[in-house]
Amino acid sequence: MTNLSKEIKELEEKLAELKEKHDAAQKEPVEVVGQYKAEIYQDYFSIHEFGFIDDKANYHQEILDKAVLIGNSFRTREQAERRLESIKTHEELRRLAHEAWGNGIINWCSHTQHKYYVELHFDDFLVDFDLTYKRANTVYFPTKQSAQDAIEKIGEERIKQYIEGDQ
Query: What residues of the chain score a pLDDT lower than 70?
Result: 1, 25-29, 166-167
Report DSSP state, residue 132.
S
- The Cα–Cα gap between 45 and 54 comes to 6
The pLDDT of residue 86: 94
The pLDDT of residue 78: 94
The pLDDT of residue 11: 85
Q: Which of 84, 80, 75, 82 is nearest to 43 (CA)?
A: 75
CB 42 within 8 A of CB 59: no
The pLDDT of residue 5: 84
Q: Which of 23, 147, 19, 55 is nearest to 11 (CA)?
A: 19
